[in-house]
Amino acid sequence: MDPIVIVGSGLAGYGLARELRKLDREQPLAVVTADDGSAYSKPNLSNALAAGRTPQQLVNASAEAMAQQLGAAIRTHARVDTIDVPGRRLLLAGGGLRYSRLVLALGADPVRLPLGGAAAHEVLSVNDLADYTRLRGKLEGARRVAILGAGLIGCEFANDFAASGHAVDVIDIAPQPLGRLLPAEAGLAMREALSRAGVRWHLGRTVEAVEYAAAGLEIRFAGGERIGADVVVSAVGLRPRTQLAQSAGLAVNRGIVVDRSLETSAPGVYALGDCAEVEGHVLPFVMPIMHAARALAATLAGRPQRVSYPAMPVVVKTPALPTVVCPPAPDRGGAWTVTGDAQSLAARFLDADGAMLGFALTGGECGKRQAWTREMPPLLV
């Protein structure tokens, strides 16, 4: 019997494998991964430095340990070239791999800004443990760190690096940090809290180029101003990995298009995690991945289950200002109502009838998370 094959060993791939094994120890299972197959928690990458954890300490289990724990064959350092959909097999270096069912847990690629300058290639993106290990190597002995992007990951990195004694500059074209998630008052509170932690902001600014300087690197803004940096990190967003699916003829939009069973346009081929688009939702966060993993595990174990999403708050891991946000769906009309002061804000996004469609909590108000989540409508019933 051909195995169920999962492509990808991130939280989605291993999360699914773990959930499947809770339901079914019998079906043969294989995981194909482009990296070394270490199991680690990606959210920890943006708070490991101040916690004093080395990249190696972030590994929960090696590929060998995962293979044993999951009763699965794990092929590491293996990139899939093509999916032969009618033949139900993957083509990869070293031959083919037949599957009974295929799951794409490919993740997403970091978005790269089009930057000029001789040192543009020195800009680091951190999308996996190998990238992060490289970053930590560069941070050794480096004082000045510039971060491109004031979103979730940009703010978490800024807090982590500043708390570890680095001089941190954060640059974004938006006028406030976390502009796509938070109401203006909470964005301002985040800005002030990270300023107190030592972060310098360059908001409403566009980076044109990264050049080599006499010492380290130099960032040049549109308009000509320059700042120095020893390390430049880019955190400007993620783009679902769709190329493999597209070249195999699967339906692709922003992500790999799947239905509520997480099945792609090809029967027997599924997708979940950062690469997947579920009824228009592309949600690169842990909680939706875990909901999808549980539903798909049941389906693969022979008990078909559709994924449903409750309201899923996102934690912004910035110790300078703990923050939880449950963003309203982009197409929903409404307005924010904010109470509290900068250290402790509670914001509700209300529609015209006064129904809560989203919320944001900071500091001491974060304890309202569970109660407010229960008041929220589910994302996908």
Partner 1 sequence: MKVWQCIVCGFVYDEAKGLPEEGIAAGTRWEDIPADWSCPDCGVAKADFEMAEVAAVV
Q: Counting contacts by CB under 8 A, is residue 367 touching partner 1?
A: yes
- DSSP letter (8 states) at residue 56: G
State in angstroms the smallest separation of the CB of 23 from partner 1: 13
Residue 259's contacts (CB-CB under 8 Å, 6 or more residues apart) are 279
Q: Counting contacts by CB under 8 A, is residue 71 touching partner 1?
A: no
- DSSP letter (8 states) at residue 189: H
State in angstroms the smallest separation of the CB of 42 from partner 1: 9
Residue 272's contacts (CB-CB under 8 Å, 6 or more residues apart) are 12, 16, 103, 104, 105, 258, 262, 289, 292, 293, 296
Q: Judged by CB, which is closer to partner 1: 22, or 180? A: 22
Interface with partner 1 by CB under 8 A: which range of 62-70, 129-137, 150-158, 281-289?
281-289
- The CA radius of gyration of the chain, in Å to the nearest whole number, is 22
Out of 2, 23, 35, 44, which residue is the one contacting partner 1 (CB under 8 A)? 44
Interface with partner 1 by CB under 8 A: which range of 134-142, 193-201, 342-350, 369-377?
369-377
Distances (CA, A) of 14 to 91, 241, 295: 21, 17, 14
State in angstroms the smallest separation of the CB of 285 from partner 1: 9
At 325, list the tokens: 């946000």
Exposure of 44 by Cβ count < 10 A (0-12 exposed, 13-18 middle, 19+ buried)? middle
Out of 23, 24, 28, 41, which residue is the one contacting partner 1 (CB under 8 A)? 41
CA 367 to chain centre: 24
In angstroms, rounded to a whole number, what is the distance separating the alpha carbons of residues 228 and 316?
Answer: 28
Q: Other C-beta atoms within 10 Å of 378: how many? A: 10
Interface with partner 1 by CB under 8 A: which range of 171-179, 218-226, 265-273, 289-297?
289-297
State in angstroms the smallest separation of the CB of 136 from partner 1: 17
| Cα dihedral: 113, 114, 117, 122 (round 10) | 40
State in angstroms the smallest separation of the CB of 369 from partner 1: 7
In angstroms, rounded to a whole number, what is the distance separating the alpha carbons of residues 304 and 361?
Answer: 37
Out of 290, 297, 325, 326, which residue is the one contacting partner 1 (CB under 8 A)? 290
State in angstroms the smallest separation of the CB of 139 from partner 1: 20
State in angstroms the smallest separation of the CB of 16 from partner 1: 12
Q: Judged by CB, which is closer to partner 1: 104, or 290? A: 290
Out of 2, 23, 47, 130, which residue is the one contacting partner 1 (CB under 8 A)? 47
Q: Judged by CB, which is closer to partner 1: 43, or 179? A: 43
- The residues binding partner 1 (CB under 8 A) are 11, 15, 18, 39, 41, 43-44, 47, 57, 60, 286-287, 289-291, 315, 317, 367-371
